[in-house]
Amino acid sequence: MRTICIDARLWGTQHTGIGVYIENLIDNLPNDPDTKIILIVDKEGMTDQKLGKFEKFLAHQHPYSNLAQIEMLLLLWKIKPDLLHVPHFTIPVLWRGKMVVTIHDLIKHLSRGPDTTTRHPFIYWIKYFQYLLVVWLTVKRAVTIIVPTKYWKDILMANYGLPESKIVVTYEGVAGEFLHPSRDSIDLPDYNPYALYVGNMYPHKNISTLLRAVKKLNGRVLLILVCARSVFTKRIEEQIHNLQVEKWVKFLGSVSQSELITLYQHASVFVLPSLIEGFGLTGLEAMASGVPVIAARASCLPEVYGDAAIYFEPKNEQELANKITEIIENKQLRNELIAKGKKQVKKYSWAKMAKQTWQIYQNALH
């Protein structure tokens, strides 16, 4: 019997996009009597019932820590997998076994410098060059590299001189609950109409352009910011204060999945102003929920959203303000975008992604 080990330490929505990817991959893997799947999980993963169908090994160290390298090596010596899938660039660099790796993006390559971190600059640059080394080792060591879009496949090939055959695109999907009306209620008396943003607050997310667009709208629309976690929250709050848009911006922080679905379904428009995205999952969630989407004309977003979204130049707050106004006031455009969004979402499936990944496993093992 063959053994496939999956590094699931970043499993779950608390780890944002990577966690959602790992969760849906594991949920959709087939049951193969000839293959044993073992998960390496953190403390929460050991007790979560959703991971109950597979054998698990506990990892105590955070994936980004240096001690995690030693811990992973010891765990893998115990497991002795025929294939290891690391769904991030955090590979165990001393492990010499066969590996498949998912690289969701190279955002840290493109968005770098002291402004992109809360660490002291000296510590930041040490960590940054360590990151570059690990990514270089990752792309060289992996048997196959999985990426979520063709955009990132092209970037990887250009940056590292990799053959096209080594990189496989597996598009992500949207959870089924976004396709159905939420039964959860949330108090929205002062939020109508409102634009919605869901995601973290890192500089490449370009929230400052969105805030300046809201200022130009002068109260014609409110903005709701939903952020599961972010070390940059204070910076955004300072920008909100400096722009004097506190009365038009509502920062909700983290919300439950059912509350998030309710927020999507009641929004007038969803805005993704990001300069760089790995896939842009939140925009598809909005489309599935029946919300028109405005996105920056940047990175992989046009590839993923096609003509189901309308786009703006990423640093042009006036154009963004105009697009928001147009969607709110033009009922025909709004309905067209909703219909196109529902159609676009059908192109993506977590089940299809997991099936493609399983085939990648088989090819790597043989």
Q: Is 48 exposed, middle or buried (0-12, 13-18, 19+ CB in 10 A)?
A: middle
- Per-residue pLDDT tens digits for 175-234: 888 877 665 656 665 667 999 999 988 899 999 999 999 999 998 999 999 986 567 788
Query: Taking the domains of the chain in order of start, what are their residue ranges?
Result: 2-173+349-365, 176-345
Query: Which pLDDT score is estimated for 110?
Result: 83
Mean pLDDT of the chain: 91
Mean pLDDT of 33-61: 90
Q: Nearest-CA neighbor of 192 among 265, 253, 246, 268?
A: 268
Closest CA to 301 of 205, 177, 226: 205
Once rounded to an integer, what is the mean pLDDT over residues 124-135? Answer: 85
Q: Which one of 3.40.50.2000, 1.20.58.1030, 3.40.50.300, 3.90.850.10 gives the CATH number of domain 2-173+349-365?
A: 3.40.50.2000
pLDDT in tens, 308-340: 999 999 999 999 999 999 999 999 999 999 999
For residues 107-128, give the mean pLDDT.
79
pLDDT at 186: 63
Q: DSSP character for 89? A: S
Domain 2-173+349-365 shares a fold with domain 176-345: yes
pLDDT band at 150 (very low <50, low <70, confident <90, very high): very high
List all residues 6 or more positions away from 142 whose beta carbon is below 8 Å from its beta carbon. Answer: 91, 99, 100, 101, 166
**What percentage of the chain carries pLDDT values higher than 70?**
96
* CA–CA distance, 132 with 130 (Å, rounded to integer): 5
**Topology of the domain comprising 176-345:** Rossmann fold (3.40.50)
